[in-house]
Chain A
Amino acid sequence: MPGPENTLTHPALMTREARTPLLKRQHLLAIDDISPLEAISLLDLAERYVEVSRQTDKRQPVLQGRTQVNLFFEASTRTQSSFEIAGKRLGADVMNMAVATSSVSKGETLLDTAMTINAMQPDFLVVRHQSSGAAELLAQKVSCAVINAGDGQHEHPTQALLDALTIRRHKKGFEGLTVAICGDVLHSRVARSNIHLLNKLGARVRVVAPSTLLPSGIANFGVEVHRSMETGLRGADVVMMLRLQLERMTGAFVPSIREYYRFYSLNADTLKLAKPDAMVMHPGPMNRGIEIDSDVADGVQSVIREQVEMGVAVRMAVLDALSRNLPRGGYA
């Protein structure tokens, strides 16, 4: 239960329910684990943090005294800085582990690294790792709250939450919305998390990609599968483009950049297939002129920069929500 140290300065957060538990679990590892109600509560909380982040004084000391460690085994600019800003605005002490120069590069295993950090008594461990299931493995071994910031090709839950928040702010809800997720679904944790979350929230999800970039059994994820932009974008309310790694488009999965551009890029012409007020989204970083044309990425329908802003708010909400489940005293 809330203690006196949690002084809430923003009126929107000074309500009784503000410190009541939101999530049933200690960790946020996958969208698959959370209920629709939990997701909506997180979005509602994030909505308030959007307002907080737009104030001159952005500090909300709900995590005063807490320690957050960002453990990124994969290079990331926007996600890592987004988590860092979110933690700092909430008053936590944030440390970024430079994995490339750490003992990991000297051959230490993931678990040894985690146990070492765990011994320093952090409250949050934000983990990105190239292997699916890495966050889950850490969560089994450490006593703090683990936030999955992307594990292999499995999930990226905070990205899905920030995408959902962005969509809700424009479309007011999810019922009856058609969301087309286009591109490299096979290798995309963003796509998987988005499919799970948007389905939970009541949207109709399509995936649009060449078959070589679709995971097997994707139809059983509750999505419509389209192999062409012509059918996949028709009537869509939201067009979500995915990043295609350059090394995957020179013959292994798709023949070439120019062929991918010809058949699967979002440009002014293909965007016309969607509804006139369709939102254009991209988790970044973009390959301009490959999966998305600049005039669309920077056009009036694009909400790509807003997604980044929502990212900070969503991560503040996640940190806040998880902090409510943390033990008050020390760890065992």
Chain B
Amino acid sequence: MINPAKQNTRRRAYVNAEIVAPAQGLSGRGGILIEDGWILDVGPKVTRESVGAATVTDCRGLTLIPGLIDMRVFTGEPGMEYRETLASASEAAAAGGVTTMIVMPNTQPVIDDAAIVDFILRRARDTASVRVAPMAAITKGLGGELMTEIGLLKEAGAVAITEGTRAVANANVFRRALTYAKDFDQLVVQHVEEPTLSSGVMNAGEAASRLGLSGNPAMAEVIMLERDLRLVEMTGARYHASQVSSRLSVEVMRAAKARGLPVTCGVSIHHLVLNENDIGAYRSFFKLSPPLRAEDDRRTLVEAVADGTIDVIVSGHDPHSADTKRLPFAEAAYGAIGLETMLSAALGLHHNDGVPIARLVEAMSSKPAEILRLETGRLAPGAPADFAVVDRHLSWTVEKDGLRSRAKNSPFERRTLEGRAVETVVAGETVFAYA
């Protein structure tokens, strides 16, 4: 299990909250009682009167949700600490209600060795304020050819294997990795983009043509996804498409699930609230991989989150500084930060698009926990005391200087969002409180 940075051993209670914990069937007024970093009790029975000598916080009707699990976080540690460290990312996470960050193997050195998994876990324990678990690489050095020590990496604490920002292009290599991972019951996470079709820098189509930028067609994603699903059918391995971005991919995933394949998928919060037109005047903070698609795609993605075809929402937090982002659009790096804004942006889907809040919470907590087999992400007696108190209607403006991430490449800069975490608790310890 993931090492928490600090633990608060005191008996504490949060009462008078609107609890949303769909996986436990909890919704409605209630409280939570914690001690030693674990949940003792949760639900309508937990009130100021019922908890005796515990230190009580009155939530005054605010929403209390399981701590969020973000399945796709890049930091610069090890190797590019000037962009982001586990510590700085964890501050951003805590401010966004995220209590578990799943970090990607695209570091220097690559997380392709048990010793580096161990390094991440120890660094997180010593420096980070939220829980951290790494995904390890599928192939050595992310080279796409030779598989990593999947068994030893899992023993060391890797919760899944992935190439992070790229796909395993060689079908035979990927087939063997799936076959081998199946023996160790390890989850394989793929960045679904056929590399030979995805050299473009934004979504292919009219918008790209008008901007004079090279396009990256949705078909690049669908082709890789469909290939992978055939390989999953052949090998029986557990498979997760890290991010889908297009209407066609949603249809493919829906059909695969109907066939009973052991597959799940995610979407980044940016693809749910933004589209290709947001790029505007070549704003490189909107340059993502996969690219932001058309409005029609975005609406389909939101519906797919609502009906569960898309299982999880991720931030895709990818910190970049001026050296890689303040460049002409085509030359700028891909990626945007998102740990601190994911929850607020997701609440926007509830306010504006009518997605049930329980489904949104599930997609960011219990569902990733289920896919990654973590014991966090739920509000139940005996579970780790990781949760967030959320003010659904608090309006706040994203300001560059206010962001806790070391990198400032947020596509929400100067936007006003409705709703945010006002207190975040990890292992019973309050790691963030909104001033």
Contact = CB atoms under 8 A, between A and B. Distances in A.
B146 A251 contact: yes
Interface in B132-173: 139-140, 145-152
Question: Which bucket holds chain B's interface residue count?
Answer: 10 to 19
Contacts of B180: 210-212, 254-255
A44 interface: no
A256 B176 contact: no
A256 B148 CA distance: 8
Nearest to A251: B146
B183 A210 contact: yes
Contacts of A262: 151-152
A211 B146 contact: no
Contacts of A255: 146-152, 180
A252 interface: yes
Contacts of B149: 255-256, 258-259
Task: Tell me if A's interface is mostly helix, strand, loop or mixed.
Answer: loop
B146 A252 contact: yes
Task: Tell me if B's interface is mostly helix, strand, loop or mixed.
Answer: helix
Contact of B183 (A227, A253, A258): A227
A109 interface: no
Contacts of A73: none
Nearest to B146: A251
B8 interface: no
B182 interface: yes
Contact of B146 (A210, A250, A263): A250
Contacts of A253: 176
B176 A252 contact: yes
A187 to B, nearest CB: 14
A212 B179 CA distance: 6
A230 to B, nearest CB: 12
Contacts of B176: 212, 252-253
B125 to A, nearest CB: 25
Interface in B385-403: none
A77 B37 CA distance: 64
A92 B187 CA distance: 60
A154 B78 CA distance: 48
Given A211-B179, A211-B182, A212-B180, A251 B152 contact: no
Interface string A9-51: 0000000000000000000000000000000000000000000
A228 B180 CA distance: 12
Nearest to A256: B149
A251 B235 CA distance: 18
A227 B235 CA distance: 14
Interface string A241-258: 000000000111111101
A256 B140 CA distance: 10
B151 A259 contact: yes
A186 B93 CA distance: 47
B167 to A, nearest CB: 18
Interface in A241-285: 250-256, 258-259, 262-263
Interface in A49-86: none
Nearest to B143: A251
Nearest to A259: B149
Nearest to B237: A211
Interface in B18-69: none
Contacts of A228: 183
A252 B148 CA distance: 10
A262 B180 CA distance: 15
A256 B147 CA distance: 9
Given A210-B180, A210-B183, A255-B180, A263 B151 contact: yes
Interface string B166-196: 0000000000100110110000000000000
Contacts of B150: 255, 259
Nearest to B234: A216
A258 B151 CA distance: 10
A227 B147 CA distance: 18
A254 B179 CA distance: 10
Contacts of A263: 151
A252 B145 CA distance: 8
B364 to A, nearest CB: 32
B183 A251 contact: no
Contacts of B152: 255, 258-259, 262
Interface in A201-225: 210-212
B156 to A, nearest CB: 11
Nearest to B113: A256
Nearest to A216: B234
Contacts of B146: 250-252, 255
Given A212-B176, A259-B152, A251 B182 contact: no
Nearest to A209: B183
Contacts of A254: 147, 180
8 closest A-B pairs (Cβ-Cβ)? A251-B146, A259-B149, A255-B149, A227-B183, A211-B179, A212-B180, A212-B179, A255-B147
19 contacts: A210-B179, A211-B180, A211-B183, A211-B235, A212-B176, A212-B179, A251-B147, A253-B176, A254-B147, A255-B147, A255-B148, A256-B149, A258-B149, A258-B152, A259-B149, A259-B150, A259-B151, A259-B152, A263-B151
Interface of B: 139-140, 145-152, 176, 179-180, 182-183, 235
Given A210-B183, A252-B176, 4 more contacts: A228-B183, A252-B146, A258-B152, A259-B149
